[in-house]
């Protein structure tokens, strides 16, 4: 084992997000102390606040899951938010972590960092080998800078910091706002609302032919804890389920989980985005982690959480 988590103080930056929340839940069984702080306590875009927070809390490790995130539409509507906020968050946290001598950082990127026409499945070393998908370039450029910055601290200062690149995620705590969400939560909500309204059709953006891979956030959290304990290295590590489906197949699986049959209407005025996005997670699998649940089981769990949120809210 590279890093023993027991008795350690671990700051989960971004614990209110889907990924950070899942990591905080997962760490609860590791015998460590999980530190969290909302924006009211530390605004991660503000350097002085991050530095003060880090100097006060002195974590042993950080899972950097804080980020401005969103789907295909939000990225094109708010380019400054996606580029500026993400650059600031990662630069502020990594520099403050260096000043506070934090032993381990796990930086989180995303599969959209890879070139639009990367080989499929996408290996880690295809990073920066070609142009990005324009529909999420702002976010991708910020995340690529974050990976490189993490590696730079390792190279210049010998920090044992690592990065992981999750594939498309879903699960409890997801964003169900139709203007800013990703496809899985959007279609879950659309099918649910169609069922409630008895509607005959559900609108799916684009052609339905793009291929995507999906991973439940709790499975990601499990893989991240594994990496935090076991992995030390310069290269970032892909985290995916290894299974891909078309958007049409995804819609059909969601229809089964929701228990509602509706005709799919494909809205060609909306963008398809990149045609295929499957991560090559063979490095992670070779290290010993390969525990992603089946997609339908994961969607059922997400749907239960969605209904729960409706009941509460």
Closer residue to ligand GDP, CB minimum distance, 168 or 253: 168
Q: Output the smallest distance, CB 1 to ligand GDP, in A.
A: 34
Q: Tell me the chain's radius of gyration from C-alpha atoms.
A: 19
Closer residue to ligand GDP, CB minimum distance, 229 or 276: 276
CA–CA distance from 39 to each of 14, 89, 98 (Å)?
9, 12, 21
Q: Output the smallest distance, CB 233 to ligand GDP, in A.
A: 27
Pairing of strands 9-13, 263-267: unpaired
Q: Output the smallest distance, CB 176 to ligand GDP, in A.
A: 11
What is the SS3 assignment for 285? helix
Q: Output the smallest distance, CB 135 to ligand GDP, in A.
A: 6
Closer residue to ligand GDP, CB minimum distance, 104 or 116: 116
Q: Which of 139, 153, 170, 231 is catalytic?
A: 139
Alpha helices in 100-236 (DSSP H): 137-157, 183-197, 217-230
Closer residue to ligand GDP, CB minimum distance, 49 or 203: 203
CA distance 36 to 11: 6
CA–CA distance from 245 to each of 27, 219, 252, 263 (Å)?
30, 18, 10, 19
201: nearest Cα among 261, 269, 271, 272: 261
Q: Output the smallest distance, CB 181 to ligand GDP, in A.
A: 6
Closer residue to ligand GDP, CB minimum distance, 5 or 18: 18
Q: What is the largest CA-CA distance in the chain?
A: 60
Helix then strand then coil, in percent of the chain rounded to 5, is: 45, 15, 35
Q: Where on the chain is the footprint of ligand GDP (CB under 6 A)?
A: 71-72, 112, 136, 168, 181-183, 186-187, 204-206, 210, 212, 247, 270-274
Active-site residue flag, 139: yes
Q: Annotated active-site positions, please?
A: 139
């Amino acid at each position: 084992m590279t890093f023993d988590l027991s008795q350690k103080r671990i700051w989960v930056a971004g614990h209110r997000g889907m990924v950070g929340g899942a990591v905080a839940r997962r760490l609860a069984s590791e015998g460590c102390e999980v530190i969290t702080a909302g924006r009211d306590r530390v605004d991660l875009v503000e350097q002085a606040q991050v530095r003060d927070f880090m100097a006060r809390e002195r974590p042993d490790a950080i899972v950097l899951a804080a980020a401005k995130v969103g789907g295909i539409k939000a990225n094109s509507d708010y380019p400054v938010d996606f580029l500026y906020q993400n650059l600031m968050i990662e630069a502020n946290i990594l520099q403050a972590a260096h000043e506070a001598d934090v032993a381990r950082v796990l930086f989180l990127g995303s599969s959209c960092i890879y070139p639009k026409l990367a080989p499929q499945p996408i290996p880690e070393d295809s990073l920066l080998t070609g142009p990005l998908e324009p529909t999420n370039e702002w976010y991708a450029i910020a995340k690529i800078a974050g990976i490189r910055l993490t590696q730079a601290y390792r190279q210049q200062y010998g920090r044992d910091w690592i990065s992981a690149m999750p594939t498309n995620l879903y699960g409890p705590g997801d964003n169900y706002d139709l203007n800013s969400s990703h496809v899985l939560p959007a279609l879950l909500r659309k099918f649910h609302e169609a069922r409630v309204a008895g509607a005959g059709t559900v609108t799916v953006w684009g052609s339905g032919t793009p291929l995507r891979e999906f991973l439940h956030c709790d499975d990601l959290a499990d893989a991240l804890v594994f990496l935090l304990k076991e992995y030390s290295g310069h290269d970032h590590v892909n985290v995916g389920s290894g299974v891909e489906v078309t958007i049409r197949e995804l819609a059909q699986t969601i229809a089964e989980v929701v228990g509602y049959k509706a005709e799919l209407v494909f809205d060609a005025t909306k963008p398809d985005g990149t045609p295929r996005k499957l991560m090559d997670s063979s490095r992670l699998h070779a290290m010993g982690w390969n525990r992603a649940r089946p997609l339908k089981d994961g969607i059922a769990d997400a749907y239960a959480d969605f209904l729960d949120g409706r009941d509460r809210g």
